[in-house]
Copies of this chain bind each other. A is one copy, B any other.
């Protein structure tokens, strides 16, 4: 069995904040340093782009699950572009294919991904989410929803979850 551990980093595209971008970049780097594969929505904006750039900086392997049928908007830091042509329906693939999902910032697409992840019984770490969304998701899946205050705690939680799962 050669299957590799995949960490999905989800978050806003155009509406990402500076903090989201910074977190995503650092997270990508730390994920790559653990030899885990980074999976994102693959586009060349926001959290996706920053996480991929961080991972490549550290020599990691990056997968992008694109909504389109072409490579025009793919992040330059994506190694493997999966072209789904599914629009937002590809969000379900993002979460199914990840062992753990980190929500790094929040947008409507991210909300759909967190909900789909929890519905599929995947652990989700909420990094710098709003109190409303923390409460909402905790109420649905208390054992699968983790709250992290910074990337150090996020990495600690990923390791703990992987130990339980594997």
B96 near A116 with CB under 8 A, answer no
We find that the number of chain A residues with CB closer than 8 angstroms to chain B is 51
* A120 interfacial by beta-carbon distance below 8 Å: yes
Question: How many copies of the chain does the oligomer comprise?
Answer: 4
* A101 interfacial by beta-carbon distance below 8 Å: no
A141 near B3 with CB under 8 A, answer no
Q: Which of B62, B78, B87 contacts A86 (CB 8 A)?
A: B87
The complex places the Cα of A152 from the Cα of B47 at a distance, in Å, of 42
**Chain B residue with the shortest CB-CB distance to A108:** B119
* A19 interfacial by beta-carbon distance below 8 Å: no
The complex places the Cα of A140 from the Cα of B2 at a distance, in Å, of 35
Q: Sorted from nearest, which 10 A-B pairs have the closest CB atoms?
A: A85-B87, A112-B115, A83-B96, A111-B115, A108-B119, A89-B92, A89-B89, A132-B136, A112-B112, A108-B115
